[in-house]
Structure 1
Amino acid sequence: MPYITFTTTKTLTLNQEKALKESAGQLISILPNKKEENLMIHIEDNQVMYFRGQEMECMKISCQLFHTTDYQYKKEFAEKLLKEVERITKIPVEQQYLSIEEFENWGKNGEYL
Protein backbone atom coordinates (compact mmCIF):
# COMPACT_ATOMS: atom_id res chain seq x y z
CA MET A 1 0.00 0.00 0.00
CA PRO A 2 2.58 2.55 -1.01
CA TYR A 3 1.61 6.16 -1.64
CA ILE A 4 3.94 8.53 -3.51
CA THR A 5 3.54 12.28 -3.88
CA PHE A 6 5.57 14.29 -6.39
CA THR A 7 5.50 18.04 -5.70
CA THR A 8 7.36 20.38 -8.05
CA THR A 9 7.70 23.97 -9.17
CA LYS A 10 7.79 22.85 -12.76
CA THR A 11 4.72 22.59 -14.99
CA LEU A 12 4.71 19.00 -16.22
CA THR A 13 3.32 17.76 -19.49
CA LEU A 14 0.85 14.90 -19.53
CA ASN A 15 3.61 12.71 -21.00
CA GLN A 16 5.93 13.60 -18.10
CA GLU A 17 3.21 12.80 -15.57
CA LYS A 18 2.56 9.44 -17.23
CA ALA A 19 6.29 8.71 -17.34
CA LEU A 20 6.62 9.47 -13.61
CA LYS A 21 3.68 7.15 -12.90
CA GLU A 22 5.14 4.37 -15.04
CA SER A 23 8.65 4.69 -13.60
CA ALA A 24 7.41 4.74 -10.01
CA GLY A 25 5.18 1.77 -10.80
CA GLN A 26 8.12 -0.25 -12.07
CA LEU A 27 10.56 0.81 -9.34
CA ILE A 28 8.20 0.21 -6.40
CA SER A 29 8.76 -3.53 -6.80
CA ILE A 30 12.35 -3.01 -5.59
CA LEU A 31 10.75 -2.78 -2.15
CA PRO A 32 9.74 -6.23 -0.84
CA ASN A 33 5.99 -6.94 -0.97
CA LYS A 34 5.25 -3.68 -2.82
CA LYS A 35 3.52 -3.78 -6.20
CA GLU A 36 2.28 -1.27 -8.75
CA GLU A 37 -1.25 -2.65 -8.42
CA ASN A 38 -1.36 -1.28 -4.85
CA LEU A 39 0.48 1.98 -5.57
CA MET A 40 -1.33 5.32 -5.31
CA ILE A 41 0.39 8.36 -6.87
CA HIS A 42 -0.34 12.07 -6.46
CA ILE A 43 1.35 14.66 -8.68
CA GLU A 44 1.34 18.37 -7.83
CA ASP A 45 3.05 20.53 -10.41
CA ASN A 46 3.38 24.30 -10.82
CA GLN A 47 3.77 24.84 -7.06
CA VAL A 48 5.47 27.78 -5.35
CA MET A 49 8.53 26.34 -3.61
CA TYR A 50 11.78 27.86 -2.40
CA PHE A 51 15.04 25.93 -2.35
CA ARG A 52 18.34 27.28 -1.04
CA GLY A 53 16.59 30.59 -0.36
CA GLN A 54 15.35 31.19 -3.87
CA GLU A 55 12.76 30.13 -6.41
CA MET A 56 14.17 27.45 -8.68
CA GLU A 57 13.03 24.26 -10.30
CA CYS A 58 12.93 21.60 -7.62
CA MET A 59 10.95 18.54 -6.55
CA LYS A 60 9.99 16.95 -3.23
CA ILE A 61 9.05 13.28 -3.37
CA SER A 62 7.28 11.71 -0.41
CA CYS A 63 6.81 7.96 -0.19
CA GLN A 64 4.61 6.39 2.49
CA LEU A 65 4.82 2.66 3.16
CA PHE A 66 2.83 0.17 5.22
CA HIS A 67 5.37 -1.65 7.46
CA THR A 68 9.11 -1.20 7.59
CA THR A 69 11.52 -2.07 4.80
CA ASP A 70 15.24 -2.81 5.06
CA TYR A 71 17.60 0.10 4.36
CA GLN A 72 19.28 -1.43 1.30
CA TYR A 73 15.96 -1.72 -0.57
CA LYS A 74 14.96 1.84 0.30
CA LYS A 75 18.39 3.10 -0.81
CA GLU A 76 18.18 1.34 -4.17
CA PHE A 77 14.59 2.52 -4.73
CA ALA A 78 15.41 6.13 -3.77
CA GLU A 79 18.53 6.40 -5.92
CA LYS A 80 16.86 4.92 -8.99
CA LEU A 81 13.71 7.00 -8.59
CA LEU A 82 15.68 10.25 -8.20
CA LYS A 83 17.61 9.50 -11.41
CA GLU A 84 14.37 8.69 -13.25
CA VAL A 85 12.82 11.96 -12.07
CA GLU A 86 15.84 13.82 -13.45
CA ARG A 87 15.60 11.96 -16.77
CA ILE A 88 11.86 12.66 -17.11
CA THR A 89 11.62 16.23 -15.77
CA LYS A 90 15.18 17.54 -16.29
CA ILE A 91 15.22 18.58 -12.61
CA PRO A 92 18.75 17.69 -11.41
CA VAL A 93 19.02 15.19 -8.56
CA GLU A 94 20.76 17.95 -6.60
CA GLN A 95 17.45 19.86 -6.67
CA GLN A 96 15.31 16.96 -5.44
CA TYR A 97 14.49 15.68 -1.96
CA LEU A 98 12.96 12.30 -1.21
CA SER A 99 11.59 11.12 2.11
CA ILE A 100 10.23 7.71 3.07
CA GLU A 101 7.80 7.29 5.96
CA GLU A 102 6.83 3.88 7.28
CA PHE A 103 3.62 3.12 9.15
CA GLU A 104 2.69 0.11 11.27
CA ASN A 105 -1.02 0.73 10.69
CA TRP A 106 -2.87 1.63 7.51
CA GLY A 107 -6.49 1.87 6.40
CA LYS A 108 -7.68 0.21 3.20
CA ASN A 109 -10.71 -1.60 1.81
CA GLY A 110 -12.88 -0.23 4.62
CA GLU A 111 -10.75 -1.52 7.46
CA TYR A 112 -7.84 -0.34 9.58
CA LEU A 113 -4.94 -2.75 9.60
Structure 2
Amino acid sequence: MPYISTKTTVTISAEKRESIKNKLGKAIELIPGKSESWLMISFDDNSTMYFKGSDAKPLAFVEVKLFGKASQDAYKNLTQAIMEILEEELGIQGDCIYVKYEEVSTWGWNGINL
Protein backbone atom coordinates (compact mmCIF):
# COMPACT_ATOMS: atom_id res chain seq x y z
CA MET A 1 0.00 0.00 0.00
CA PRO A 2 2.43 2.65 -1.15
CA TYR A 3 1.58 6.27 -1.89
CA ILE A 4 3.77 8.58 -3.99
CA SER A 5 3.05 12.30 -4.04
CA THR A 6 4.97 14.59 -6.38
CA LYS A 7 4.94 18.36 -5.89
CA THR A 8 6.76 20.37 -8.55
CA THR A 9 7.19 23.85 -9.93
CA VAL A 10 6.68 22.74 -13.54
CA THR A 11 3.49 22.07 -15.46
CA ILE A 12 2.75 18.39 -15.97
CA SER A 13 0.76 17.70 -19.12
CA ALA A 14 -1.75 14.85 -19.20
CA GLU A 15 0.64 12.85 -21.39
CA LYS A 16 3.58 13.40 -19.02
CA ARG A 17 1.40 12.59 -16.00
CA GLU A 18 0.40 9.28 -17.59
CA SER A 19 4.01 8.44 -18.49
CA ILE A 20 5.30 9.30 -14.99
CA LYS A 21 2.45 7.30 -13.42
CA ASN A 22 3.39 4.25 -15.51
CA LYS A 23 7.09 4.56 -14.71
CA LEU A 24 6.46 5.02 -10.98
CA GLY A 25 4.22 1.95 -11.15
CA LYS A 26 7.20 -0.07 -12.32
CA ALA A 27 9.70 1.66 -10.02
CA ILE A 28 7.71 0.85 -6.86
CA GLU A 29 8.59 -2.80 -7.48
CA LEU A 30 12.13 -1.90 -6.36
CA ILE A 31 10.65 -2.11 -2.85
CA PRO A 32 10.19 -5.81 -2.10
CA GLY A 33 6.52 -6.75 -1.76
CA LYS A 34 5.23 -3.52 -3.34
CA SER A 35 3.50 -3.25 -6.70
CA GLU A 36 1.40 -0.93 -8.81
CA SER A 37 -1.71 -2.93 -7.90
CA TRP A 38 -1.83 -1.09 -4.52
CA LEU A 39 -0.02 2.11 -5.50
CA MET A 40 -1.76 5.48 -5.13
CA ILE A 41 -0.14 8.46 -6.89
CA SER A 42 -0.85 12.18 -6.77
CA PHE A 43 0.59 15.17 -8.60
CA ASP A 44 0.69 18.82 -7.55
CA ASP A 45 2.24 20.85 -10.35
CA ASN A 46 2.83 24.59 -10.80
CA SER A 47 3.71 24.95 -7.12
CA THR A 48 5.65 27.92 -5.79
CA MET A 49 8.84 26.49 -4.32
CA TYR A 50 12.26 27.87 -3.43
CA PHE A 51 15.49 25.94 -3.00
CA LYS A 52 18.65 27.59 -1.68
CA GLY A 53 16.73 30.87 -1.67
CA SER A 54 15.91 30.74 -5.38
CA ASP A 55 13.06 29.70 -7.65
CA ALA A 56 15.21 29.89 -10.82
CA LYS A 57 15.36 26.13 -11.48
CA PRO A 58 12.62 23.52 -11.81
CA LEU A 59 12.12 21.78 -8.43
CA ALA A 60 10.36 18.71 -7.08
CA PHE A 61 9.52 17.31 -3.67
CA VAL A 62 8.44 13.66 -3.67
CA GLU A 63 6.90 11.89 -0.69
CA VAL A 64 6.83 8.10 -0.59
CA LYS A 65 4.70 6.53 2.14
CA LEU A 66 4.80 2.80 2.71
CA PHE A 67 2.74 0.46 4.81
CA GLY A 68 5.52 -1.45 6.54
CA LYS A 69 9.27 -1.11 6.16
CA ALA A 70 11.95 -1.41 3.50
CA SER A 71 15.74 -1.62 3.45
CA GLN A 72 18.04 1.33 2.86
CA ASP A 73 19.18 -0.34 -0.37
CA ALA A 74 15.59 -0.51 -1.62
CA TYR A 75 15.09 3.16 -0.78
CA LYS A 76 18.35 4.06 -2.53
CA ASN A 77 17.26 2.24 -5.68
CA LEU A 78 13.82 3.86 -5.65
CA THR A 79 15.31 7.33 -5.09
CA GLN A 80 17.55 6.86 -8.11
CA ALA A 81 14.62 5.67 -10.23
CA ILE A 82 12.43 8.61 -9.16
CA MET A 83 15.18 11.09 -9.99
CA GLU A 84 15.76 9.52 -13.41
CA ILE A 85 12.01 9.59 -14.16
CA LEU A 86 11.63 13.25 -13.20
CA GLU A 87 14.74 14.30 -15.09
CA GLU A 88 13.69 12.42 -18.22
CA GLU A 89 10.02 13.44 -18.15
CA LEU A 90 10.16 16.96 -16.67
CA GLY A 91 13.78 18.09 -17.04
CA ILE A 92 14.29 18.42 -13.29
CA GLN A 93 17.88 17.77 -12.27
CA GLY A 94 18.57 15.36 -9.40
CA ASP A 95 20.16 18.09 -7.30
CA CYS A 96 16.81 19.93 -7.37
CA ILE A 97 14.73 17.00 -6.09
CA TYR A 98 14.08 15.90 -2.51
CA VAL A 99 12.59 12.48 -1.79
CA LYS A 100 11.09 11.84 1.64
CA TYR A 101 10.23 8.35 2.90
CA GLU A 102 7.74 7.54 5.61
CA GLU A 103 7.07 4.07 6.99
CA VAL A 104 3.52 3.67 8.28
CA SER A 105 2.56 0.97 10.79
CA THR A 106 -1.22 1.45 10.55
CA TRP A 107 -2.95 2.01 7.23
CA GLY A 108 -6.70 2.39 6.79
CA TRP A 109 -8.43 1.01 3.70
CA ASN A 110 -11.95 -0.09 2.84
CA GLY A 111 -13.33 0.60 6.31
CA ILE A 112 -10.60 -1.28 8.17
CA ASN A 113 -7.12 -0.64 9.52
CA LEU A 114 -4.30 -2.90 8.51
TM range (shorter): over 0.9
Q: Deviations over 1:28-78 (max 9, x none)?
A: 011011010100000000011111101131000000000111111111111
Cα root mean square deviation, aligned: 0.8
Match of 2:23 in 1: 23
**Separation in 2, partners of 1:66, 1:24:** 17
Match of 1:62 in 2: 63
Match of 1:91 in 2: 92
Identity %: 31
**Separation in 1, partners of 2:18, 2:52:** 29
Q: TM-score, normalised by structure 1?
A: 0.96
**Separation in 2, partners of 1:58, 1:87:** 14
Match of 2:108 in 1: 107
**Separation in 1, partners of 2:109, 2:33:** 16
Q: Which runs of 5+ in 2 are unaligned?
A: none
Q: How many residues align?
A: 113
Q: Which runs of 4+ in 1 moved over 2 A?
A: none
